[in-house]
Structure 1
Amino acid sequence: MKFTVFTFLLLASLQLYSQTGNYFLSHYTPGEDRFDEVCFDIAQEKSGLVYFATRRGILEFDGRNWNTLLNDGAVYSIQLAPSGELYWAGAAGYGTVATRNMGHRTTTVISPKGVTDVFQCLLQEKKSYFVGEHALYIETPGQATLTVNATKQTGTFGSLFEIFGAVYINTAHMGLFKVDGNKLVRSRLNFSDTEEVVFSQGYDNQYLVGLSDNSVYLVGENLKPRLVVLEDDAYAAASVIVSGTWVNKDLFVLGTLRGGLIFVQASTGKTQEIVNYNTGLPDNEVYALMSDQSQCIWAAHEYGFTRVSPYMPFRSFSHYNGLAGNLHCARAFQGSVYAGTSLGLFKLEKEDLYDEITYFIEVAEVQPQAGATPSATPAPATQTMPTAPADETTQPAGPKRKGFLRFLKKNRNKESAPIITQSAPAEAGTALPPTAATPSATPHARTVNRRIKKTERVLRTTTYRYKKVQGINAKITQLVIVDNKLIAVGLGGAFEIEGLTARPILEEPVRIAYASRNLGMLLVSTYDDDVRAFAPGAKGWTPSSTLNTINDDIEAITDGNNHDLWLCAPDKVYHVDMAAGTLKNVDELPISNPTLNKIACVRWNKEIVLAHKDGFFRFDPANHTFVRIDSLPKPALHFSDGEDILYNDGHTWNILGKTHGQSNLQLLNLQQNLRFVTIDQNGENLWLVTGNNELYKFYGEKLTPYEVGNKPLLKAARNENEAMDLRDFALDETRSSLTFDVIQPDYLAPQSIEYRYQLAGLEDEWSDWSVSNNIINFAYLPSNDYVLMVQSRDIFGKIRELPTVAFEVLPPYWKRPWFYALEFLVFSGLVMLSMRLSSRFRIISRVLSLLTIIMLLQFIQTVIGKTFETPTSPVLDFFIQVVVAFMILPVEGYLRNFMLKEGSLTGRLQRFLTPEAAPADDKKE
């Protein structure tokens, strides 16, 4: 009974088993207008673009932008062919979305006319399969559609899946079948005919298969399923497994209906992580799963999509219960995690969680009929019936469990058994059902099963929870370790921490603390501008008056090379020379910090280096001053613990003085609003507090080679807001406003990717790097041949190039060669016409001649001017036109004399040959 109760009890959330933190999660929402999208399937293209099959169509996502590819109704399944072509199945049948060709896509419906509600597609090398409730459609290139219909014997069709090239299909009445050509044959897979195969995912030489009874199998090449014994099988069964996929060959993930995601080691079945509402997942109901190219898991849920990064060197510590206030610092000490907030100090501790559950048992009783004598002894309990938690989405039980919305129905129709009532009178020699007790020998009695409600307190799980450290009721801003002791400082003072107890060292507000190795003391700077020193001892902390002479706003302290200290105020630095623990000398060194920026100070390469927003400065003993280090950039942001300086120059992150273990530092660009950073003892791991009050531990020494990165894509080109087909790209100069939309698909830090571009034919230099240069706009382009070059740079500094885009801007028609040729033909025609009319129509001939000369000269001037035109200055173009005019002036005189003279001679010749047509005056001559 208790095991059954425990199974249903595990519907509650399960926390992690150790203080390792939670997986790094990234959340995406299509937008307010598509907030309620229900996602049925997810796929990723080789280029990195991710596609979502939703009830409104197909969504495309590149890390920044959402785009709708198909919106003709719900799409239930999508598959990507090796060629990049996207196949879809949905309410409108099934079809394809062509590969991206320079920003252009076409959508085609290939299903036979009248086919609707196709809920799944499956692709193979030469065939594609599409299944609906009543028919299976097989498409082969160049052949007619092959249809396999469901029968009364098989019942409706369920989901399709593939194992080692063989295609299988679930049926409602006869279990599993193999698709063999144009017929169905009984499957040889050793699965129960009563259970549906919910999912099948291959990786290397084995397949991960999940059944509707919440069991999970691994199937090798021998096709013999091997049951995976899940460490948390009770939790998985109670949560209802609806999907699953591989992360890599050692890890797979199960998506559940009520319990979020379960990450499982493939070889042992041990739970690696459970990602649910209590660890940052917005909703425990998972619609669909996909493993992307970077070994990250995409999960679709009611609030959008979440990307889970198991191997990201970030672990979240914000989602454990008990933490209160705004975070300021954190540190690991002796295997425990401490977090300082605006309300005090909290320790993460293991805790057993118990729940009171309610369940029912059935007790058989004998009830007398009217006038009969009741039995004196009730029947014993015969069956325990736990009641599953209410689920408003539970579907009514029925024979139809498979359909195009099967993932919403999967296993929701498992209801508790009904109450059984025996109402028939007992007869001599008749055996009662085994669920009833033997009644007394009363001839007029009946047996009834009565449900009795019971409550039991049962251990839910062992988890972790933040507990408040007693004795601190004010803000904690820093945690330091001195002599293997944890010290917390803040507005309440300085405290030594032992477990959940704080012992005060100094009870006045403290600005910063520093563990001095040179002195073996704890140094604290107070809000009263005092510097206090405390030495650890067997009886506690002993105050020292060593530094009582320094009264200033000390913001940073570091040890020198010998028995000396460096203490930094906003406008000066104190160099304190100590001898045998006694103050020997104090030097005051002014520094340049006009805006009183926050100062950090460390010892680096045996030099004292301080930093603020104006740069890094080292101490020059020869000149007894601080000088700028030109080889280091100005830090846009910096954090220090007195030993190291973590800084960002606006693009990259570095730790001053570290030459190894920094391969992951650029991942800090994922956190755009870091407020506090604590550098752990080994200098590699960091504790991060973001502006969203999130606490992360960053593992700097862990390698993350799985982020493959993608090349930039040209998503679209628009000419005056009209999309262009870039396969044949040419446009007119009069409409040469162009906008190019470039994107590098990225889901790690898409908002941090920078772009630059160059347009050969217009510019000779690259633009500056900018995150907004993915949208490239040209308001006007003169006629020319152009080549667009674009580069992208990710947070690691890796540069990738977009394939060059060549296009042509055509001049107006009156500047094109064919128009010049037409003009030449017109001029020639005018000359011929002028010569023919000169004998009879002298005035018209002369007018035509002059017009021809003018047009010819204008033609010559236009051609020459176009050849020597410069886009730099209209004044220069004007002077070029003047020079051209002077050059063609002699040509103009020659043509005028020639054409007019030629016209006169021609007229005379014609009159001589035809004297009868000559005028009277000419005859006299």
Structure 2
Amino acid sequence: MNFTKFHILILLVTTTLLSQVKNIGLPDIQNYKRSDYKGGTQNWDIDQDKNGNLYFANNNGLFQFDGSSWRKYNIPNSIAVRCVKIDDSGKIFVGGYTEFGYFKPTSKGRLSYFSLSKTINKSSLKLMDFIWKIHIHNDEVIFQSFERTYIFKNKKVKVLEAPKRFQFSFQVKNHIYIQDISLGILEYRNGKLFQLKNSTILNNTEIWGMFSLPKNKLLVATLNKGLFIYENDKMIPWNTEANVFIKKNSSLGGITIKDKFIVLNSVLDGIIVFDLNGKIIQHFNRTKGLQNNTVLTSFVDSKNNLWLGLDNGITFINENSPFTYFRFSYNISTVYATAIHKENLYVATNQGVFYHSWNNSIKEDTFKLVEGTTGQAWNIQVIDDQLFCAHNTGALLISEGKTIKILDNVGYWQFKKIPNHPNYLIGSNYNGFSIFEKTSTGWLFKNKIEGFSRSSGLFELHDKNLWAKKDNLVYRMTLSEDLNKFESIETYENLSKTTKGIANIQQLDNKIYFQTNNRFFKYSYEQNLFFEDKKMSALFAKIPKINSLTQDRNGNIWYIFGESLAVLMKTNQGGYKNIVAPFSKLTGNIVSNNLSINTTGPNDTFIGLTDGLAHYNPNLLNNYEAKPKAYIRGFSFPGDTIILGNGQKALDNYKIPYSSNHVKFTFSSPSYENLENLEFSYQLEGFDNQWSNWSAIAIKEYTNLKEGDYTMKLKARTNYGKQSEKSTLNFSIFPPWYRHFLAYLFYILLIAASIIYIRKRIKTKIRKNKYYEIIEQRRLYLEKESKIRQEQYELEKEIEKLKNDKLQIKILAKDKELVNNSLQVVKKNKILNGIIYKLKDINVESFDESTKFQFTKLNRSITKEVNADKSWKDLEKHIKNVHFDFLKRLKEKYPTISPRELDLSTYLLMNMSTKEIAEIMNISGGGVELARYRLRKKLELNKKENLIGFLMSI
């Protein structure tokens, strides 16, 4: 019998470990709203790539989620994407309205779309509708629409027409099945369709799912006719719990979990998870945490967690977790204690005591209130197969969902059996302590213990000694033999002279310990002092300061530090293994002032929470040994963005210009179980001296980086404490042009050239200085010589000037003399002309020939003398030669001046009188005055200006 029970237990544990689907409580549920991924309402299909990134076929496009950020990708000719499938090479095949093809990453990680539908001659096809399903079958990719399927193979697309009209297609292991509204279910093999016998009976409904069952059976899920088994060419209804649910709520397909369980989506009531016998294990709907009751698609990711594409939003269900929960949907609130009694699970809450049937599984129905327990229940305990409740209203006995007896009407905290008194209990209440006695008629209130009337919920018993803690004091009270009073009471404030305060009292391995600051003490009754248990203190030496602790029935020590829970799990070797990380998701939800841990079996531990009850299966922690993956998801800098982790070939080193030395990194880790507690640590080698502190922030920016080579290193840590391998990215920042290698080479050459130039300049300057000294000496010598010469020259010039002045005076005198002589000649010629005129009046006819000859000869002689006299012309020529420079300057300054006016100007310059000018120019004195007036006017002189002075100044 024991052997059989042992094997049944092993089988149950193994099945639980393999299945990853717990039938106790609900796992964590994370909802993603449209505002989170900024997409459309309906999500039709889901798939995951090798790097853990998830892809959702949404009404507004294809959405990618890496755990940290969402990215949207569109396809041409279609806003909506109906299906998505990823092959081993990383190609992301998608289908939409009149469009299908695949996305493939570029060298910079951006997903680029390649259309396959463009290769089809659409003019020869009457209609190309939505692509609803994609299957990767052997070396083919099958795109299925209602009218036909398109088969992509060897870079070519072939068309397979529907016999009548397709509905949907399904891939069951290595088989492809398609429903035709005329021929029923068809199997696709080698490019052809083969009809399944007797499958046309489902022609009047739509098939939305097909699944493999043992013994080559097929499970067929219809929209509104329920579930059917296809076996031995027969289609028969599958009369199970799952079938009843689907008939009521309509099926929208589903998925298999590790060939052990099947998930079915419904139109009206969320999803169910059932085993291969059709027994419902889990049911999720809006009441249980989904944001929508219509589930269009479901997907099991690489860690066996469940993703749901809803009619409005996306939901993640953490099936791969050791924790499940009973929260508001089970009608319970803050839990202070739990107990299992007579196949019922009881929970003590702030609203009362609730219970639920317990047979190692709890389905979807809610907990019920135990009659007569409404109000604050502090504790629930099984003692001698009786269920005691420490309630705000008193000490209660409960059985089969009812309060069967009220033992005392004072509020109680807890109960303990008294050592060496098997028929007695002691209970701590609001007024001290009381004794209960077990009689032939059951448990009865016996008496209040006199001598102590303070309320203390924390106490322990050792023989006749009762240890209680109240405020900052610990009381040691000795019970009398009749249990009616405390014979002695002693108080303790400190554990020793050096160890101040007493934080807690607890019983571990049937020994009472007194603890403060993680140091554990026992009490010596012989010596009446506390002494430290070094072994126990060493166990907690590296643990943060604890608030309280308790030990479960398996010897595991649970403790609270801050607002977090952890456990020292007892090993087979007698030691302890500290487990902290898995409980991080409970941080802040533990009832820290009333720790409730109830281990009822090897796979069942109940933990009281502020918002319900958690069920913990420690055996499922084995699933978290795998390390997470850390990705440097995005690398951006001004001018470019590189997306990593999309399957592209990584470059050895990214080159960045100095003008773009502001870089930004985004991180991700496809560990979706508890994203709020996912943490990253990073180090930019070349800038950071050490790794950063762990943080949930998935982004890091660096500004104004210097030129050089850098390596960004990243690690991720899950809430289970597992760290990823190091992920790295290398990049280099070029220096600015003025700090480039060539610039430095130029600077070196320039400095060398400058030194050479300066040396040459110095040498040249020295030579020049010497040269200039010689030159300066020579200059001074020459200057002196020049000065002497200049003085000699000036002397000579002065002498020359004196000579010129003297000569000028002589010339002027000569000119005057010449003029006078000329005037005399003019006068002479005038007289001679007068004589000639007079001779003409003489009558020569009266003369004799000799006299007439002599007269004529005389007349000719006088006329010849007058005509031959060139004195005037010589005078005019002389005047012009003497005053040539003056006449030239005057003509240049006044170009309109006439020759006669030039002559007049010369005469005036020679200081001739009006009479002399009149005689020379052969005009009257009035004519000279008129000529002077006209000359003044042409020279633009006013009346006050002296004409002769002006002419002399020219």
Q: Same fold (TM over 0.5)?
A: yes
**Counterpart selection for 2:710 from 780, 783, 786:** 786
* Residues 579 and 302 of structure 1: CA distance in aligned 2, closer, same or farther (over 3 Å): farther
* Residues 559 and 20 of structure 1: CA distance in aligned 2, closer, same or farther (over 3 Å): farther
Cα drift, residue 716 of structure 1:
0.8
**Counterpart selection for 2:179 from 170, 174, 182:** 170
| Higher relative strand content | 1
1:474-499: CA deviation from partner (whole Å, max 9, x where unpaired): 21122122222211123212211123
1:699 aligned residue? 617
Q: Secondary structure at the match of 1:236?
A: helix
Letter in 2 for 1:769: W
1:23 aligned residue? 26
TM, length-normalised to structure 1? 0.67
Determine if contact 2:23/2:281 at 8 Å carries over to the other structure.
no
**Counterpart selection for 1:347 from 330, 341, 355:** 355
1:66 aligned onto 2:70:
yes
Letter in 2 for 1:548: E
2:824 aligned residue? none
**Counterpart selection for 1:688 from 607, 619, 625:** 607
1:87 aligned residue? 93
CA distance in 1, matches of 2:420, 2:260: 48
**Counterpart selection for 1:798 from 696, 718, 722:** 722
CA distance in 1, matches of 2:447, 2:166: 85
Moved more, 30-39 or 577-586: 577-586
* Residues 164 and 507 of structure 1: CA distance in aligned 2, closer, same or farther (over 3 Å): closer
1:147 aligned residue? 159
2:506 aligned residue? 602
* Residues 230 and 481 of structure 1: CA distance in aligned 2, closer, same or farther (over 3 Å): closer
**Counterpart selection for 2:84 from 68, 78, 82:** 78
* Residues 557 and 108 of structure 1: CA distance in aligned 2, closer, same or farther (over 3 Å): farther
**Counterpart selection for 1:740 from 665, 668, 674:** 665
1:633 aligned residue? 543
2:758 aligned residue? 896
Q: Secondary structure at the match of 1:724?
A: strand
1:118 aligned onto 2:110:
no
1:8 aligned residue? none
* Residues 185 and 642 of structure 1: CA distance in aligned 2, closer, same or farther (over 3 Å): closer
Moved more, 60-69 or 485-494: 60-69
1:503 aligned residue? 405
CA distance in 1, matches of 2:254, 2:296: 11
Cα drift, residue 715 of structure 1:
1.5
1:248 aligned residue? 258
Cα drift, residue 20 of structure 1:
6.2
CA distance in 2, matches of 1:619, 1:257: 63
CA distance in 2, matches of 1:743, 1:895: 60
Written as runs of structure 1 = structure 2, the 5 A alignment for 1:699-738 is 699-700=617-618, 705=623, 708=626, 710-719=628-637, 723-724=641-642, 727=651, 729-738=654-663
2:428 aligned residue? 525
Determine if contact 2:143/2:150 at 8 Å carries over to the other structure.
yes
Cα drift, residue 752 of structure 1:
1.6
Letter in 2 for 1:73: I
1:333 aligned onto 2:341:
yes
CA distance in 1, matches of 2:587, 2:106: 32
Cα drift, residue 230 of structure 1:
3.0
CA distance in 2, matches of 1:254, 1:899: 94
Cα drift, residue 807 of structure 1:
1.1
1:431 aligned residue? none
Determine if contact 1:556/1:642 at 8 Å carries over to the other structure.
no
Q: Secondary structure at the match of 2:759?
A: helix
1:863 aligned residue? none
1:493 aligned onto 2:496:
no
Q: Secondary structure at the match of 2:590?
A: strand
CA distance in 1, matches of 2:568, 2:632: 39
2:302 aligned residue? 293
* Residues 256 and 760 of structure 1: CA distance in aligned 2, closer, same or farther (over 3 Å): same
Determine if contact 2:307/2:317 at 8 Å carries over to the other structure.
yes
* Larger-Rg structure: 2
* Residues 788 and 514 of structure 1: CA distance in aligned 2, closer, same or farther (over 3 Å): farther
**Counterpart selection for 2:675 from 750, 758, 763:** 750
Count residues with an aligned counterpart.
707
Unaligned runs of 5+ in 2: 1-21, 123-127, 645-650, 769-954
Letter in 1 for 2:741: P
Determine if contact 1:519/1:563 at 8 Å carries over to the other structure.
no
Cα drift, residue 310 of structure 1:
5.1
- State the superposition RMSD in angstroms: 4.4
Bigger relative contact order, structure 1 or 2 (CA pairs below 8 A, ≥6 apart): 1
Q: Secondary structure at the match of 1:347?
A: strand
CA distance in 2, matches of 1:328, 1:309: 26
Written as runs of structure 1 = structure 2, the 5 A alignment for 1:584-595 is 585-591=488-494
* Residues 796 and 100 of structure 1: CA distance in aligned 2, closer, same or farther (over 3 Å): farther
Letter in 2 for 1:28: N
* Residues 107 and 281 of structure 1: CA distance in aligned 2, closer, same or farther (over 3 Å): same
Written as runs of structure 1 = structure 2, the 5 A alignment for 1:208-357 is 209-212=219-222, 214=225, 216=227, 230-266=240-276, 268-277=277-286, 279-302=288-311, 304-309=313-318, 312-318=321-327, 323=331, 327-348=335-356
Cα drift, residue 597 of structure 1:
11
Cα drift, residue 75 of structure 1:
0.9
Cα drift, residue 238 of structure 1:
2.7
CA distance in 1, matches of 2:90, 2:578: 33
Cα drift, residue 340 of structure 1:
2.7
**Counterpart selection for 1:647 from 534, 545, 559:** 559
CA distance in 2, matches of 1:650, 1:856: 70
Cα drift, residue 38 of structure 1:
0.9
Cα drift, residue 53 of structure 1:
1.2
1:879-911: CA deviation from partner (whole Å, max 9, x where unpaired): xxxxxxxxxxxxx4x6522366489999xxxxx
Letter in 2 for 1:58: L
TM, length-normalised to structure 2? 0.65
Written as runs of structure 1 = structure 2, the 5 A alignment for 1:429-448 is none
1:191-243: CA deviation from partner (whole Å, max 9, x where unpaired): 226435423456999685424364656789x9998975534433332322221
| Higher relative helix content | 2
Q: Secondary structure at the match of 2:200?
A: coil
1:856-887: CA deviation from partner (whole Å, max 9, x where unpaired): 56xxxxxxxxxxxxxxxxxxxxxxxxxxxxxx
1:103-147: CA deviation from partner (whole Å, max 9, x where unpaired): 64434333317766322222234221222333422222443x323
CA distance in 1, matches of 2:661, 2:421: 73
1:674 aligned residue? 589
CA distance in 1, matches of 2:213, 2:578: 29
CA distance in 2, matches of 1:287, 1:123: 21
Determine if contact 2:377/2:390 at 8 Å carries over to the other structure.
yes
* Residues 742 and 315 of structure 1: CA distance in aligned 2, closer, same or farther (over 3 Å): closer
Letter in 1 for 2:704: Y
1:663-705: CA deviation from partner (whole Å, max 9, x where unpaired): 98743323333233522254864333444x3333333455552
CA distance in 1, matches of 2:712, 2:295: 43
Determine if contact 2:684/2:713 at 8 Å carries over to the other structure.
yes
Determine if contact 1:320/1:466 at 8 Å carries over to the other structure.
no
Determine if contact 1:39/1:301 at 8 Å carries over to the other structure.
yes
1:474 aligned onto 2:379:
no
**Counterpart selection for 2:41 from 32, 37, 40:** 37
Determine if contact 1:201/1:208 at 8 Å carries over to the other structure.
yes
1:567 aligned residue? 468
Letter in 2 for 1:898: K
Determine if contact 1:75/1:88 at 8 Å carries over to the other structure.
yes
1:430-476: CA deviation from partner (whole Å, max 9, x where unpaired): xxxxxxxxxxxxxxxxxxxxxxxxxxxxxxxx985544333334211
